[in-house]
Amino acid sequence: MQEDQAQPTQLQDELSQAAAANGEVSEGAELRAQLDAANAKADENYNRYLLAMADFENYKKRIDRQFADIALAGRRALLRQLLPVIDNLERALSFENASEGLRGGVQQTLKGFESVLSAEGVRPIVDLVGRPFDPKTADAIATRPAGDVADDTIVEETQKGYMLGDEVLRPAKVIVAKNNPSDAS
């Protein structure tokens, strides 16, 4: 604070000495010098204010992005935990021995879970069998000779994969055709 006051008084002293050296002591010149110094200080403070406001806006945007990322990560984690429950319900439906009442209850429960996932933007990865293996959407857990299809073609899906928007939430687990065992690595 004292430095701020020291600059105008220093400028005043220099102007006063220059005016005295010329034999002219002008009160108007001294006031003009004070006004110029005050305006320069005001401009400097305004520029600092603008910089601080810009920094604060950038901070708010960064925090908003971080909160959105945290929320999305939490959402993904919760949805990933629900997927094994759906897998188990689908396995329960695959048994022929279940009573119709139990089967109907499991089907309704599965439909409920599927509607929750759909509302959250989760959709299953479909139609993988017969397509070329893509490591972005599927994990190959085994290979199998299949003479009627080309190598690296998916021949069986053992676990469904799911997408959340455009991102893979969980890759499908698949078995891939490998006709020549010597090609396997």
Q: Where are the domains of the chain?
A: 123-180
pLDDT of residue 99: 79
pLDDT digit string, tens, across residues 62-94: 999 999 999 999 999 999 998 999 998 888 888
Please state whether beta strands 122-125 and 138-144 pair in parallel, antiparallel, or not at all (unpaired). Answer: unpaired
123-180 folds as: Nucleotide Exchange Factor Grpe; Chain A, domain 2 (2.30.22)
Other C-beta atoms within 10 Å of 59: how many? 10
Assign 173 to helix, strand or coil: strand
Which alpha helices (H) appear in the chain, and where do they start and end? Answer: 2-22, 27-94, 100-119
Average confidence (pLDDT) over 108-134: 91
pTM for the full predicted model: 0.63
How far apart, in whole angstroms, are the C-alpha atoms of residue 28 and residue 20? 14
